[in-house]
Structure 1
Amino acid sequence: MIERILEPILRKKCEESKIVVLKGARRTGRLTLVSRIINLEDPTIGIIDCSNKKERKAMNEPEALRAFSRDKKVVIIRDAQLLENLQEFIDFAIELDSLENLLLICSFEPELHEDLWEALREQGLELNLFPLSYPESAKFHGLVQEDKMLEQRLIYGYYPEVVTNEDQAEKLVSEIIESSIFTQLGASERINKKENLIKLLRHLAFNIGKVISFNDLGKKCGLDNETVERYVKLFAKANLLVLISSYNNGHRYELKKSHVVYFLDNGIRNALIRAFQPLEFRNDAEELWKNFVISERFKANEYAGRKPEVFFWLTHTKQEVDYLEITNGEAFGAKMSWEDSKKIKIPASFSELYPQIKVTGINKKTFWTFLRK
C-alpha cells in the first residue's frame, strides 16, 4: 500500500481532538487512509455513508443518529456535507462522553457554524487529501522509476487506482470524472445544469494556464458570468481546480484582476477533453508540465501546512512568470519548461520591476527541488 503523507498528521489530530474534518475528492483514498489508523472492523466503530440515499434519509432523523452513536467510540460520516442535520449532531456528539472521535469525511465543505469552522481551522483540524503526490509515489516506486513514469503521470494523473492499475488507466480516469465531479458537492449547492457545466470544464481544460474570462466562458457554455465564476470557485474549494489570480502593483502593461486555472490532477484534465495520446503526438506538453508542477506544489504546501498567496504575472506584451508564491512578505517565482535542454528566459521587465523576487527556471531536472522549497 502506498503510504500517504497525511497519515501521521491525521493520526495525531484524531488523538488530540474529538472532531476532525477530512476533505478530498472521491476516490482519492479517504476511507483507505482512515483504515490505516482506525480498525473499521471493530464493532465500536460506526460508519454512516451519506452517499447512500436510504442511509442518509434514515440518519437525517436526529434521534436515529443519536441512537446509532451512543454505543460507539468512533463515528465516521462519509460525504458528511450531504447530512442536513450535521451541526445538530455535532453539538450532541461534543457532549457524548463515550464518543472519542467524530470523523467527517467530505468532498466539499459541510455547512457548520462559522465559529466551529474558525476553531477547527485554527487548530488544524480541517485536513485535505488529494490524489497521490509525486513524493508519495516516488517513495513507493523508487525515485528512478518514478522519474521514468513522468510522462505517464502527465497524461493519466495520480488517482490511486489509476497509479496501481496502469493497464486500465484510461478507463479508470474516465470513470472518475462522473464520481468526482458531479456527485460530491454539498446538498445546498446549485449544480443543476450538468450539460452546461461539462462544457465549462472542457473549456477550462483546453485553456489551462491561459487567462480566462468568466464572461466569455459563460457565452460559450450558455451560462451567465456570475454562474461561471461561482462554479469555478466551487470546484476550487472542492480541490478539483486551482484558481490563480494575477499579480500587479499598478505598473504599466501588467494584467489586473485576471485569473488562470489549473486542475489538481492531470488525468482529470485529459479525460475531460479525451486526450490520452503520448506526449510525442501532442502540442500541449508545456501546458501539461505547468499543470503538473503547480498542482504538485499546491499539494506540498497543503501537506506542510503552508498557506502562501499564489499568483501568476503577465503583461499585455506577453511577458510572463508562470508562478509566484508569497509568504509573510517573502516571495519567489518560477517559469517552467518540459524540455530540460531548453534555456528558460526570465522576463527582464519583471526583474527590473521586482528585483527582490528571484525567479527560477523549473524543468524535469529541477522540479523536485522546487517541490521541497
Structure 2
Amino acid sequence: MKASFRSARLVVIDEAQRVKNVGITAKLIHDNYPETKLLLTGSSSIDLANTIKEPLTSRSIDYILYPLAASEVASNATDARRLIEKSLVLGSYPRSWQMADNDATTYLRNLANNYLYRDAFATNAIFDTTIIDRLLHLLAFQVGNEVSYSEVARHIEVSKETAMRYIDLLEKAFIVFRLSQYRKNQRNEVGRLRKVYFYDLGVRNGLIDNFLPLSYRNDVGALWENYCIAERKKYLQKMNIYARHYFWRSYTRQEIDLVEEIGVNTGAYEFRYKDQKVKLPSNFVADYPDVPFKILIKDTLSDFIYQ
C-alpha cells in the first residue's frame, strides 16, 4: 500500500462494494496518507454503505453522482432550453450524449433491458430478476402518477411487502426515486401515497421502448414533470442546498407537482411543458396561504435548475 499510494493525490476505487475489506483499506489509507483523497464509487448505496460505513465513520462524505445536469450539457441557459427535448427523450447518461441519436437509442434499450441493475444487485442474492423487470416496466408507465404499493403488488403478483422492498432496492440503486405526500394533518389531504420518478429519462424510455420525438408522444407532461424534479435535485446538490421534496393532493383530486422545503421556507411548483393557465388549488391556498406558488414552463425553468 505504501508503494501504491504514497505519491498519489487521488485514488479512485470503482464498484468499491465488490472489493474485499475495502472499508478497512480505505481507513488505513486515510489515516496514514492524509494528503491522498479517496473516491469510492458504487452502483448501490446500500451495498457501498454496508462495506465502508463503520470503518469510515466521521471520515467520509456521501455524494450522488447523477446523470449529466442541464448546466453540464449546455454552455448557457438558452442552450439548455434548446437541448431539453433531447434530454426528455434520450436522458442524460454521458455515453448517450457522445453518440448519434440512433446509436444512443440502441445503447439505452440494451442498458434498460439487460444491464440496468446487474451491478447494483450483484452482492444482493435475495432478488428475482423477473419481478424486478416487471416492476421496472410498470413504474416506467406510472411516471407522474400516484403509486399504490398494493396495486403494484397485485400487477406483478407479489406481496405488498415484497413490492415495497423491491422499489426500495431500485431507489438505493439510483434507478428511481420517490416523493411522499405533503400533509400537515389537514382533513382534506390524502396520505400514504407515493410518486416514483426515474433518475434518467433515457432509461425510462428504454424500458417502454419509446424514443419518439415529443410531437408524437402522449406522455410529454409526465416526462416534463420527471425532468424538472430530477434536474432540481442535481442543481440543489451542486449548490450544496439540502431540501425535502413532496407532492400534494387533496381528496377532491386537486394536485401540486412539487412542494419543496428548504429550512423554514416552503415553495409550491407546477410543471407545464407549454404555457397554459393553471389555477392554484383552492384547498392548498386555504391550508397554506403563505406558501408561494410558481408555474414552470420551458422558457421559465432556467433559474430553477440551471447555474
Q: Which amino acid aligns with 1:299?
A: K
Q: Which residue of 2 is the match for residue 363 of structure 1?
A: 297
Name the CA shift for 1:193/1:172 in 2 (closer, same or farther; >3 Å): same
Q: Does 1:266 align with 2:201?
A: yes
User: TM-score, normalising length from structure 1?
Assistant: 0.74
Name the CA shift for 1:319/1:327 in 2 (closer, same or farther; >3 Å): same
| Cα shift readout 1:238-295 (whole Å, capped 9, x = no counterpart) | 3221210001122223111211011111111111111111222211111111011011
Q: Which residue of 2 is the match for residue 144 of structure 1?
A: 78
Matched residue count:
302
Query: Any residues of structure 2 matched to 1:268-287 within 5 Å, and which?
Result: 268-287=203-222
Q: Which amino acid aligns with 1:351?
A: V
Which blocks of at least 5 consecutive residues in structure 2 are unaligned?
Answer: none
The answer (yes or no) to whether the contact 1:155–1:270 under 8 Å persists in 2 is yes
Name the CA shift for 1:170/1:68 in 2 (closer, same or farther; >3 Å): farther
Q: Which residue of 1 is the match for residue 158 of structure 2?
A: 223
* 1:351 alignment partner, one of 279, 285, 293: 285
Q: Does 1:177 align with 2:116?
A: no
The answer (yes or no) to whether the contact 1:70–1:98 under 8 Å persists in 2 is no
What's the % identity of the aligned pairs? 27
The answer (yes or no) to whether the contact 2:27–2:55 under 8 Å persists in 1 is no
Query: Any residues of structure 2 matched to 1:1-373 within 5 Å, and which?
Result: 66=1, 69=4, 73=8, 74-97=10-33, 100-109=36-45, 110=48, 111-112=50-51, 114-115=53-54, 119-120=58-59, 125-139=61-75, 142-167=76-101, 168-177=103-112, 181-185=116-120, 187-190=122-125, 192-340=127-275, 342-371=276-305
Distance 2:242 2:79 in 1: 31
Name the CA shift for 1:188/1:313 in 2 (closer, same or farther; >3 Å): same
Distance 1:115 1:204 in 2: 34
Q: Which amino acid aligns with 2:58?
A: A
- Relative contact order, CA 8 A, sep 6+: which one is greater? 2
Question: CA RMSD for the aligned pairs?
Answer: 2.4
1:71 Cα deviation after fit? 6.1
Distance 1:101 1:280 in 2: 47
User: TM-score, normalising length from structure 2?
Assistant: 0.89
SS in 1 for 2:195: strand
Name the CA shift for 1:269/1:187 in 2 (closer, same or farther; >3 Å): closer
Q: Which amino acid aligns with 2:73?
A: S
